[in-house]
Amino acid sequence: MKLGAFSISLAVKDLQVSKAFYENLGFSVFAGDLEKNYLIMKNEETLIGLFQGMFENNIMTFNPGWDQSAGKLESFDDVRAIQKHLKGKEVKLETEADESTTGPASFVLLDPDGNAILIDQHV
């Protein structure tokens, strides 16, 4: 199963403070918008999303169809195929993608310790 690019999405209290902290660790702004309360920071191939006021807990995120630079992959497993595979393994999903659609879609599952995993396809 190809899950695509990986990042961690952090729920932050103060976006400016978090931005400065991660810049000190060598990250730079890759995408996002301060006015929309989110930034995507990158250090080599490592991505961290900083989100203020959007969700309560941190989320592991996979982006089928994207590489670590948000470039479209020629070959990837569609989010609906990944979802169908997991449902076949009786994995409980918190939200589901509409399997009658194509293109961008997402679903959420929790690991055994309650950590959220977002499978979020943008292409």
Per the structure, the complete domain to which residue 110 belongs is given by: 5-121
Amino acid occupying residue 92:
K
Q: What is the pLDDT of residues 5-60, one digit of tens each?
A: 999 999 999 999 999 999 999 999 999 999 999 999 999 999 999 999 999 999 99
What pLDDT sits at residue 40? Answer: 97
Count of structural domains, the chain: 1
Please say whether the beta carbons of 80 and 97 come within 8 A. yes
Please say whether the beta carbons of 88 and 99 come within 8 A. no
What pLDDT sits at residue 52? Answer: 98
What pLDDT sits at residue 102? Answer: 97
Distance CA 78, CA 65 (A): 7
What pLDDT sits at residue 114? Answer: 94
Distance CA 28, CA 38 (A): 13
What pLDDT sits at residue 105? Answer: 98
Its pTM stands at 0.91
Mean pLDDT (the chain, rounded)? 97
Within 1-123, residue ranges assigned H as helices are: 15-24, 79-88
What pLDDT sits at residue 63? Answer: 97
What pLDDT sits at residue 88? Answer: 97
Return the CATH number at 61: 3.10.180.10
What pLDDT sits at residue 29? Answer: 98
What pLDDT sits at residue 30? Answer: 96
What pLDDT sits at residue 82? Answer: 98
